[in-house]
Amino acid sequence: MAKAIRIEQTGGPEVLRLVDVQVGPPGPGELRLRQTAVGVDFVDVYHRTGLYPLPLPTGIGVEAVGVVEAVGAGVKRVKPGDRVAYLSSPGAYATERVVPEDRAVRLPDAVDDRTAAGGFVKGLTAAALVLRTYPVQAGDTVLVHAAAGGVGSILCQWIRALGAAAIGVVSTDEKAAVARRLGCEHVVVSSREDFAARVRELTGGRGVPVVYDSVGKATFDGSLDCLAPLGTMVSFGNASGPVPPVDVGLLGRKGSLFLTRPSVFTYVARREELERYANALLAVLRSGQVKIEVTRTWPLAEAAEAHRALEGRGTTGSLVLVP
């Protein structure tokens, strides 16, 4: 009998329940996986709390790594015994699962299970942000909030690999040390510095062409003040809460700014786009230009503890559940 985390109502981490589940054979175009590592992401928290509503009851978790145990009719990209990482609909917090083949990517031997599980969605997000949302160019200086966190830590390394400089914003001195190690040219500790004023100082008053902001409500207004004219505000997370309704006239008054709220699920909805960003991610991992640091792991049954740690914003790097 397989095990999975389910929620019957939205709420705090205590609503996460480990239950027995039946996992049937894969249908056409599907894979049955024995899962070896499961990524923990802020989107899981948003699903659990109801910020991003799901029909209840539901599974939770959108990424994992596993070994293919069986394939359905028409599957051509992988075979039993292959290791794959996937991004799919909620339900990844499980020991076994059936997933669509077109959402899974075969892993090279050089990338281990926990690294892939801890960084697949975050790495795809980072790839989409720096390659398409705002294509970072050599010589750019860009701003990254939560620079020591899961996506932020990948962003900072990738920005450096592209020949650009990252200004990282973090909340503590401990996280500042992590951000510097990840290649941030400058680090701002927001608990004691006005990050917008500091960014203006660091850029000679010009501001930056793009802000990557996963924090949300607490940093949104300050992030706009960091942007150069025609700059791009990329609001891609709500760690401090959702951003309130925005007066679009403000964007004009602050320099004809661009505002976008990307979701990685849109960017990789087509198979060719998933492959594009996954190949880019695997390439920078194999080259060593980007390293994914899995800083904490928990057994699947302790998913609630992983959520408490993530929501407490005391973590750095990536978090993984081990089935």
Residues 6+ apart with CB under 8 A from 263: 236
| In 101-227, alpha helices (H) | 113-128, 150-161, 173-181, 195-202, 220-225
pLDDT digits (tens, 9 = 90+) for 271-312: 999 999 999 999 999 999 999 989 899 999 999 999 999 988
CB 60 within 8 A of CB 47: yes
CB 315 within 8 A of CB 293: no
Phi, psi for residue 247 in degrees, rounded to 5: -75, 110
Q: Read off the tokens for 69.
A: 């145990």
Residues carrying CATH 3.40.50.720, the chain: 138-261
Q: What is d(CA 2, CA 275) in angstroms, rounded to the nearest whole number?
A: 30
pLDDT digits (tens, 9 = 90+) for 3-45: 999 999 999 999 999 999 999 999 999 999 999 999 999 899 9
Q: Tell me how far the alpha carbon of residue 321 is from its chain's centroid.
A: 15
Sign of CA dihedral 221, 226, 231, 234: negative
| In the chain, alpha helices (H) | 42-49, 113-128, 150-161, 173-181, 195-202, 220-225, 248-253, 264-267, 271-287, 303-311
Instruction: Identify the CATH class of 138-261.
Output: alpha beta
Task: Please name the residue that has the structure tokens 């359905």.
Answer: 72
What pLDDT is attached to residue 323?
A: 93
What pLDDT is attached to residue 315?
A: 75
What is the residue-averaged pLDDT of the chain? Answer: 95
Whole-model pTM: value is: 0.91
Mean pLDDT by 10 residues, the chain (323 residues): 96 97 96 97 93 94 97 96 96 97 95 93 96 97 95 95 97 93 94 95 97 95 97 93 92 97 96 96 94 93 95 82 96
What stretch of H or E contains 279?
helix 271-287
CB 212 within 8 A of CB 141: no
| SS3 state of residue 169 | strand
Q: Read off the tokens for 63.
A: 């990424």
> Other CB atoms closer than 10 Å to residue 91's CB: what's the count?
19
Q: Provide the pairing of β-strand 30-40 with 2-7.
A: unpaired
Q: Which residues pair with 144 in a beta bridge?
A: 168, 212
Instruction: Using alpha carbons, select from 16, 40, 6 the residue that is nearest to residue 114.
Output: 40
CATH fold group of domain 2-120+274-322? Quinone Oxidoreductase; Chain A, domain 1 (3.90.180)
User: b or e along 9-45 (b: 16 or more beta carbons within 10 Å of the residue's beta carbon)?
Assistant: eeeebebbebeebebeebeeebbbbebbbbbbbbbbb
What pLDDT is attached to residue 318?
A: 85
DSSP secondary structure string for all residues of 100-133: EGGGEEEPPTTS-HHHHHHHHHHHHHHHHIIIII
Q: Provide the pairing of β-strand 141-145 with 208-213.
A: parallel
Residues carrying CATH 3.90.180.10, the chain: 2-120+274-322
